[in-house]
Amino acid sequence: MSSVSDWEAASNPVKENRAGNIGKAVDRYEGPLKVTGTAPYAYEVEPPSPPAYGVMVSAGIAAGRITAIDTAAAEAAPGVKLVWTHLNVPAQGPRPERYDFFTPSPRPALQSDRIYFFGQQVAVVVADTLENATAAAALIQVTYETDAPMADFHAHLEDGVQPPGESDMEIGDFAKGFAAAPVKIDDVWRTPLQNHCQMEPCATTAWWEGDHLTVHTSVQMVRFAQNSLAETLMMPHKSVRLLTRYVGGGFGGKGSFYEDLVLASLASRELGQPVKVAFSRQQMMHGTVHRPATEQRVRLGATKDGRLTAMSMMTVTHCDSRGNFTEHASNFARNLYAAPNRLTGHRLVRMDLPVASAMRAPGEASGTLSLEVAMDELAEKLGMDPVELRILNEPESDPETGKPFSIRQLVRCMREGAQQFGWDRRIPKPGQVREGRWNIGLGMAAAIRGNFLLPAKASFTVDAAGVITVKQGMTDIGTGTYTVLAQIAAETLGVPLGDVRVEIGDSELPPAPGSGGQFGAATAGSAALDAGMNLRKAIAEIAVADPASPLFGAPSEDITFQDGVIAIANRSERLADLIRRNRPDGLTADGEVRPAMDAGKWSSHTYGAHFVEVGVDTVTGEVRTRRMLGVFAAGRILNWKTARSQLTGGMIWGVGSALTEGNSVDTHYGSLINQDLAGYLVPVQADIGELDAIMLDEVDDKANPMGIKGVGELGISGAGAAVANAIYNACGVRVRDYPITPDKILAALG
């Protein structure tokens, strides 16, 4: 990893964490553009000439092949410029037999007559207007030879196999330890298929200038999408420029890309004019990825005083028939609680369903819905407080690897959360608190999410006006990347935030991995810090070597940067004056970050604790979340406002996972039943009640030079389990088949 030199360590304002921009509740950098509707999303980008519009046609079966496809009426329709199917689409790079959805490789569109899932794209129509393209697409007639789809996940659990390259993890002897335990929990939980439901659908605007392609598209990973698109089109990577400057929500669903990107690019080349292609909302539900359903068996064995002696979490999940993606719902359990005998693992069932892939907090979001409820059940059996049970089983080091924790404040999260929430007023026996027809209950759960750092680069430039420009091929999917990069630049170079410009979301900028996996801020921010410190050092060296500068001859490491002024003691000058005199065309410095050589020596995670109060109407089965509090330890917080927004957004998603969210499969047709936001229920403001997130002071100096971690996925981890535990405390009902809908509560109440 890029290390901080002695000079940098002595003069690093970010490291010192002084009262500057870092950590403050700074408003969103791009907020005014978004609220005024002037931030152009991918489909809204104005191309250099009038565009044509593409509309895709989706398969109406889940498995089989196309035996005939009649496009004559569509081709003759008004305004139609081209109609493509597998019979006439231009040649593309071949699709690997199996591929990781996040590994660059060709992603050909309309590849063959084979149908692998309901909603697969089978044709595209491009016309002069969106209306004409939509009307023509409806005229295409497709005839299929249909196979009975394998679409009932729970009917095929026994078909599960170990994911490629994986094996079960066992420490000690779980079977023996569990058999000997005097207190046991052995239950099965089910979580449903979930859709990402981003506000902005996947969309692309593409045009060519000679052999060079420019695409504006909605993706989370710039360089990955650029490279894969180039391989699909069988052209040099450098001939593709991909931009994704504003993304209206990703959540993992835009971690890869889809047919809109490929077909818009191909059609633009064919027609010699810009082309726009977007998914409809219904196509988003089937044609993009989703979180797969799971079945999780959790077994806990404990002594009568509450110490875990055996712990197992085994998950069965599904993916598409050609995929390998696994919802690793058991992985987090390997790091959370101490137990000498442990067994965790996964089984994968390949189905004739749309492609499964990452969705916010893949693994933890699903897995905590079982283990953190099982811990609540165990606490009840033991007659212990759920918080105290978790604290009793707090490990001194990583329970599986034995590695020391880089920093771990989970116990502090739970203790401070309990105090702030009023946990001591909880009555352990269910159903004891009533307000009219509402039963009131309290629940809690722990939260954990891994911490990651990936390679990234950045560049900083200062111009003759003293303005700092940050350039990085990073993305902002609504998480605040623009803002935190501006804060790091302002703090490092000692300039007002208004004197910072941020350019991201462009494949021609220094590469960064993009947004996802909760690694974005730490990775992008660490590279930005390195670039900023390198520029700071270069500026200082120019100043002390410039006879015209008041700082001439001074030790460069003693120079301070603040409010656009560089100074030593009572000698100072404006940064802009120094640059104008010495580098009128601007001065640029690059930076990068790589994982440290010793990063593998530490067990590094983010942690939290959720506390929830719910009301349950025992007449209707309705559940209302009245209060939610999350306390989190996630490294140095770069921006209090955007971090809190990420955490509370995740907590609200946890409420949806517990109470409303899920998509059912019509097993006869292999289709998803909910195909729009009217039928797929996500929480709204009225569902939430009082909501707060507290972030503990923390700097993880083992994580990266700034001590940053991520928060984007931590907030959802454990939140749904806390809701489920509160429901039980309110009315004595355990529902292990999510979501916990009123009909399930009423059935359990009898």
Mind telling me the catalytic residues?
713
Bridge-based pairing of strands 690-695 and 671-672 is unpaired
- Tokens representing residue 207 in the block: 């045009």
Bridge-based pairing of strands 690-695 and 623-633 is parallel
> Which DSSP state fits 25?
-
- In 3D space, the residue among 469, 498, 682, 706 whose CA is nearest the CA of residue 579 turns out to be 469
Which residues, in sequence order, are CB contacts of 181 under 8 Å at separation 6+? 301, 302, 303, 309, 310
- In 3D space, the residue among 470, 486, 459, 473 whose CA is nearest the CA of residue 31 turns out to be 486
Contact between 672 and 355 (Cβ < 8 Å): no
Torsion angle, alpha carbons of 367, 371, 373, 374, to 10: 150
- In 3D space, the residue among 339, 272, 232, 249 whose CA is nearest the CA of residue 34 turns out to be 249
Sign of CA pseudo-dihedral 373, 374, 380, 384: negative
- Tokens representing residue 701 in the block: 């100096």
Residue type, 231: E
Residue type, 501: R
d(CA 655, CA 684): 10
> H or E segment at 208?
strand 203-209
Q: Which residues pair with 244 in a beta bridge?
A: none
- In 3D space, the residue among 536, 521, 476 whose CA is nearest the CA of residue 503 turns out to be 476
- Tokens representing residue 417 in the block: 């959360």
- Tokens representing residue 723 in the block: 């809701």
Adjacency order of strands within the sheet including 500-503? 500-503, 468-471, 456-462, 587-593
CA angle 503, 505, 507 (to 5 degrees): 105
